[in-house]
Copies of this chain bind each other. A is one copy, B any other.
Amino acid sequence: MKLATLKNGQPDGRLVVVSADAAHCVDASPVAPTLLDALQRWDAVLPALTRLSQALDIPDARTSVGAIAFDPRQCAAPLPRSFQWLDGSAFLNHGRLMERAFKTPPIADFETIPLMYQGAADDFLGPHDPVPLPSEDDGIDYEGEFGVVLGATPMGVSARQALQHVRLVVLLNDWSLRGFGPREAKSGFGFVQAKPATAFAPIAVTLDELGPAWREGRVHLQLQTYRNDAWCGHPHGGAMHFDFGQLIAHAARTRRLSAGTVIGSGTVSNADAAMGSSCIAERRMRETLAQGAPRTPFLRFGERVRMVALDGQGRPGPFGQLDQVVLRAGALAAG
């Protein structure tokens, strides 16, 4: 099943079920007004949502349920806000390059205990929303990731049991400001100013939509990023060192996780430089290692970043795409 949220002027938007081909969608609000509500009552609403999903793929039934054309440009993030967003760093290649970029000391237990920070869940951006930021001097960067959305998950869940609590898979851009990262990392308190609002591709999918691309607690798709018209990378999500079960178990070791908690994979990253990268900082670090200095600048206002998941044959994955432009904060309000 594919789910999305249309903007309706309210903070949580309006839940829709999307057809398999993403051409149509149907209002799901008689079943659950919002995705956050649906996640809190998942077992109760799943049968009715599934019936809507099935109706969308039959032309006559599609008409009778009142389907409309699905327009990703009308979408908020699948969860426009949630009560918890925890982002792991499960691709060790990314972590190793960022350690060198931030000039931070090597982290103990790097390969046995996941790195994870708590991010802001109160304000997620939609897939075509502009990205308002205060300054081009802050090192504006993107980070392409896969993520999972959980049902209520108990404290102390094991890595194996944890996967039973995964309700949906998402594609996201963890927008990052590199000018703040090293200082905040050195402070020990983690990232606040370095992590502005996170953006999501329009469609959240149940595990069955991924078919064989969901296995071993990982998303076996490539994450392709374009900066303006330039290809930047398509590293493979299967290279996660820690799987999502391990990330969830780490998050839940001393707390229960409420329904709607989003857990991110961290930047999708492969050791093979030919796969490119899902953030600028990695590319700059590779340039520094190869040539002594970075050559690729961070983003300027007006630049565009697109992300999409691809299968092994280069066909788009089920999430739809992110397509955003970075803007000076206040530029929108000022017209």
| Chain A interface residues toward B at CB < 8 A | 11, 40, 81-84, 86, 89, 102, 104-105, 107-109, 113, 115-123, 132-134, 138, 155-156, 177, 180, 183-197, 250-251, 253-258, 260-261, 329-330
> Nearest Cβ in chain B — how far from A259, in angstroms?
9
Inter-chain contact A81/B81, CB cutoff 8 Å: no
Residues of B within 8 A of A109 (CB): 183
A323 to B253, CA, bound (A): 24
> Residue on B with the closest CB to A177?
B254
Contacts of A155 in B (CB 8 A): 132, 134, 329
Q: Shortest distance in angstroms between A140's beta carbon and chain B's nearest beta carbon?
A: 10
Would A120 and B255 be within 8 Å (CB), given that A81-B83, A156-B134, A329-B155 are in contact?
A: yes
Is A186's CB under 8 angstroms from B188's CB?
yes
Known: A84-B120, A84-B121. 12 other contacts (CB 8 A): A81-B258, A83-B83, A104-B188, A117-B189, A118-B118, A118-B192, A121-B121, A134-B155, A180-B254, A190-B190, A197-B255, A197-B256
Most buried by B among A108, A156, A193: A193
Could you name 11 residue pairs across A and B whose Cβ atoms are closer than 8 Å? A82-B83, A83-B123, A108-B183, A108-B186, A113-B183, A118-B118, A185-B188, A186-B188, A189-B190, A195-B254, A195-B255
Min CB distance, A28 to chain B, in Å? 21
Residue pair B117, A254 in contact (C-beta under 8 Å): no
Number of copies: 2
Nearest chain B CB to A207 CB, angstrom units: 23
Given contacts A118-B119, A190-B118, contact A138 B254 (CB under 8 A): yes
Q: How far is the CB of A85 from chain B (nearest CB, A)?
A: 9
Q: Determine the chain B residues whose CB is within 8 A of the CB of A260 once the complex forms.
A: 122
Q: Which residues of B contact A108 (CB under 8 A)?
A: 183, 186
Residue pair B89, A189 in contact (C-beta under 8 Å): yes
Shortest Cβ distance from A86 into B: residue: B192
Contacts of A138 in B (CB 8 A): 254
Nearest CB of B to A151, in Å = 13
- Whether the Cβ atoms of A187 and B107 lie closer than 8 Å is yes
**Contact partners of A329 in chain B: CB under 8 A:** 155-156
Q: How far is the CB of A5 from chain B (nearest CB, A)?
A: 16
- CB <8 Å contact, A122 and B188: no
Provide the bound-state CA to CA distance between A105 and B40, in Å.
Answer: 43
